[in-house]
Structure 1
Amino acid sequence: MSKHILFTGGGSAGHVTVNTALIPFFEKKGWDISYIGSRAGIENEIITDQFPHIPFYGISSGKLRRYFSWKNFTDPFLVMKGVMDALSVIRKTKPDIIFSKGGFVSVPVVMAAKIAGIPVAIHESDVTPGLANKLAVPFATKIFTTFPETVKALPENKTLCAGSIIREELFTGDDKEGKRLTGYFDQKPILMIMGGSLGAKKINESVRENLKELLKSFQIVHICGKGNIEPSFKEQGYKQFEFIKGELPHYLAMTDFVISRAGSNSIFEFLALKKPMLLIPLSREASRGDQILNANSFVKQGFALKLEEEELTPQSFMEKVKELQSNKAAFIKNMEKAPKAYTIQDMYEELTSMAK
């Protein structure tokens, strides 16, 4: 009888990426697979689009907030309903193991798994665990972290640093194919700019304010997020995309430098591909500050430069880009010495050994 793995995680693309990297490998090994997410979350869209044959179960999930909201009084009831929903899915699908990538939808699933006696593995992407994963930790069998620093904040007897699980297709890119798709050439370095799954208004503005200056030194691939393309910018050597799907490995293969937010999955992908990066993390006003800590860790290890959003001006932006360009060799040398992360095969073996 084939084994069954149940994946959960959602709320942002970052809480789904590792799952989408692992799913094809488990399929190849003949496992049955199901997914629990929230009905309205981005995970429903991503999973049903990429894996239409995999059963997706939408459950109730309250949002966990660190700030005052009247919904904080009603959402605990949604979480409790989510636990009952998840328990019903677990009893129906009878998984051998549950893999959780975090996000608030995962909390009721992990709680239900404990009630049902199913082993749970959690993967934490950021330097400090998110609120959802903090709540889930007592119910987890094993916790995998991306950053070595995170291990100190979690129960020692069940925590391991695995690094970031990178999608295998990212290593299949062909720089010649990237240049064919864009019409770009070898003589001028290529700069890729991306602002996360939602785009980043301030980064987009900084790029466009400095476009003439940037184009003197670079050919540019600008992934600016849904609805953020500016048709008035038609300069030679500047291409805008809302997002890039299947061809992303080719675009990354030809890229020399990256400017990005500091979401954990993305920056570890750039690290694995040895791309010097300028990180502009989400500000503390817009987040819990996890991206700032991610960026600090990469700066400390000599993989990246950081520019905080509050300090972002057209002038500071150009200064950092020039610094990035002049230190390319040092960044690549440091990245080559980085500790090796778990491969998808390694993670598969860990989860198989945990499965009941």
Structure 2
Amino acid sequence: MPISVALLFTSPSSSLDISAAREIFGVNRTYLADPWYDFAACASESSASCDACRIERLYSVEELPQAHTVIIPGGLDIHQAPPAALLKAVRDAHDAGTRLVAVSTGAFVLGAAGLLDGLRITTHWIHADALAAQYPRVTVDLDALYVEDGGILTSPGGAASLELFLHMVRLDHGAAVAKALAHRLGMAPQDAAATVQLPQVYEPGGADKVLPEVLSWVTQRLDTPVTVDDMAQQANVSRRTLTRHFRASTGMAPLQWLLAQRVQLAQRLLETTQLSIEQIAAQTGMGTAATLRRHFGRTVGVPPDSYRRWFRARGAGRSLGLTLAPAASTS
């Protein structure tokens, strides 16, 4: 059976979020996975007609718990309480095991329904303070493109809506289908994590007497080709001895450690400079932009271009002095 997705209309609703949901779930994509999704709208009495959104099937509010997934788009007036019948339907859907998805101010509906306490969520940075003030037991994470906690998924909205919906396709149909859909839409496929995952770079243990000098020597030459033989010669040991010391002290083989250093340098350059991807590839010793994109995407989980946009967006939110909700325990 196809996975049923209900788009819950509030008044007003973001046309961008609606269009993104329809594009992912409402377009017949059985060429990627068969069956695809059974997409419908659910409009409360206070909502305007959704005829303009070209969604033919309609749910009643009472039918909401029958859906596998309910998406609440942004656009809601956060100063106006949602209708009691709508909140009851959302709670009933949650109790029935329905997957709840809130985009931008859609999180306020889940908050009003009492479903966010103790959870980590995300929302649009403009409304983060208001959400934290209304629901102090909620942790608001502005660093994430999307967050999944307690069976509830949230997103800041806008372009991040597509990232969240693509993540849902990955959960439902697998990584290969999600990657194919991302390619079809001209999107860069994201990793399965709700936030950009940074590579873990191991440092050598203090007891090692071989590595400190050679590691310092290598990190000063990340823009030039360096082989295992070069490292072994610098350390005045054999390749086998060098590899043994690397694994014992860093948990990595020599070239793995070197690649992690190159990726970490690429991250710093993406964060702090306006250098092109080609220039960063040269400065990190990866040679070409294609090589940098391949290794960076495999290690960090996103392409370097996407990482730079994500980092700048995070910095823009923090520069506005946004106050996040206090940390809360999660179950």
TM-score normalized with structure 1 length: 0.31
Q: Which has the higher strand share?
A: 1
Between Structure 1 and Structure 2, whose CA radius of gyration is higher? Answer: 2
